[in-house]
Structure formats: C-alpha cells, structure tokens
Amino acid sequence: MSAVCNHDPYFVQKEDTFHVLSLLPEQKIMAALRMLAYGASADQVDEIARMGKTTVLESLMRFCSAIEALYTNEYLQKPTPRDMRRLPWHDWKHRLHALDLEKLSKAAARMFDVEALRSIMMTCIILHNMIVEGEYDYDAVNEYEPDPMNNSRTQIYYAHDRTKDPVQHESLERDGRYNELIVMRYTSLQEPY
C-alpha cells in the first residue's frame, strides 16, 4: 500500500477546503483488489467500500497502473527453464476450454476497453507471481504419491511450518449413507417439468 501511495498521490487521503477527509487508501485499494480477486463489478463493490461506482472504477484503473509501473520488471519476466519444469502441462487443453467458457460468462468485463482489460490482466499476473514467490519453496523436492481417488499421482504438500512432515488430512470414508439421497436428487433433476 505504501508503494502504491508513493507512486500515485490519488491514493493518499487528503482534506478538502471544508476540512473533510477523502477516502482512506485502504478503501480504494481494497475496492480494486475485490474487483480483481472476485471478478466483482463496481456496483457490487461500491456498497462494501462505501464509495461511488466511478470512484471504484478509477481506483481499479489507477491501482492497475501503479502495480504495472512498480512491479513489471520484477514480477513479469519470461519463465526460466526451472519455472517451465514446474508447469503441469497435462490437462492444458481442458483448462483452456474452461477459460474460454469462463470468458464468455464474464459480463462485467464488457464495460472496459481493450487497454483497460490488458492492464487488469497484467496486474492479476503480477499479483499472482508475487503470491507464488511468497509461498513457493524453491528448495523443496517435488514428491508425488498415488492418489486413490483418480489413479493418478498427487503432489505431497508439506506443512507451512517448514517441517518435512507431509500435511496429514483426515481419510475420506465412503460408507454409502448418502448414496440413496444422491440418486434421488439426481433423478429429480433429470425429470422434465
């Protein structure tokens, strides 16, 4: 937040001639982040952030511009061979198809021009890369174990306290208690009205 406020004085809280304080930087940045994270429209955010629709949209675009200006060189680099080895190349065709369908359903994006959408996308990528850098342990060895649910292999995730002990999840038990209820609901959904 301090980097964004230092880059663009729009985010700094000011006082007008009547000594009324403007919106907090946290309000403006939170509104922009909510739109980016949840795909929310300005109408959905304006009530939560207690700011007008035009202010929400201006906060979003100025936030995107600030993030791009501040972090493009550091977080928007071409992937290294090490990064490429980490990418799961299987299921890409399926993922791309799902993304195409998702794009068609995003009505909120229709109000932005192409340059605004490019800026929003670049900001999302930069923020994603910042998060990944903060969470990913580059020194950890990738280990995989059989996945009993789909006969493929699943990565073993380690606890966040940096111990080498795998995260222990409760075992999934299928005792059949809900099978009849599931079949009844499925059948009722398939029946024509």
In this structure, is residue 113 part of a structural domain?
yes
Q: What is the mean pLDDT of residues 135-160?
A: 57
Interval 164-184: pLDDT, tens: 665 565 665 566 776 777 777
* 109: exposed, middle or buried (Cβ count in 10 Å: 0-12, 13-18, 19+): middle
List the domain range (segments joined by +) for residue 117.
2-77+108-135
Select the highest-mean-pLDDT range: 95-99, 121-125, 150-154: 121-125
- Cβ atoms of 67 and 126 within 8 Å: the answer is yes
When pLDDT is cut at 50, 70 and 90, the band that residue 187 belongs to is confident
What's residue 63's pLDDT?
96
Q: How many domains does the chain have?
A: 1
Q: How far apart are CA 126 and CA 73, in angstroms?
A: 10
In this structure, is residue 54 part of a structural domain?
yes
What's residue 162's pLDDT?
58
In this structure, is residue 22 part of a structural domain?
yes
In this structure, is residue 57 part of a structural domain?
yes
Interval 57-67: pLDDT, tens: 999 999 999 99
In this structure, is residue 14 part of a structural domain?
yes
What's residue 141's pLDDT?
63
Q: Tell me how many degrees the CA angle 127-132-136 measures, rounded to the nearest 5.
A: 165
Place of tokens 């949840």: 38
Residues facing 153 on adjacent strands = 146
